[in-house]
Structure 1
Amino acid sequence: MRKIDLLFAEYGESHQNPTNKFIHWICVPLIFWFILGFISLIPSAHVAVLYYGLISVVSIAAIAVVSLYYLKLS
């Protein structure tokens, strides 16, 4: 078994409690957005996006890296 499969199996076993699942459903996205918010504070160039305003290039790079990581896992 690959290491990532083992990690996901352990994660799945430890997250069967409905309360734990609910807390993770709320907190994991919040943690991601807080980290992304802190990353956006890194001084860098910005890209103007219609209806969203300015988005940091570093934030776009962070989203791309995280997306590629999860695509690779799947």
Structure 2
Amino acid sequence: RLFLGAMSLQEIRTVLNFKTVSSAEAAIRRALAVNRKGKDRDTERSAELERIDALYRAAYPQAIKGDLKAIDSCNTLSER
């Protein structure tokens, strides 16, 4: 989750107490492989659409109020 949240490998190493960045990276690769088991492209696409929809729903209330950054975020998410 930390990796998917765009945390750096160095930060992940520190937070999860790995000895090296390489060991943190290896653990991430193992976790991603486990999470991919049994998933096909359609399942992955559906999960990604759910993530994008959740982000859109979070930005939309501010966009409606005229927040230009939120409007830009909604436009970008719609394009995805």
Could you state the TM-score of these two structures normalised by the residue count of structure 1? Answer: 0.41
Higher RCO (C-alpha 8 Å, min separation 6) = 1
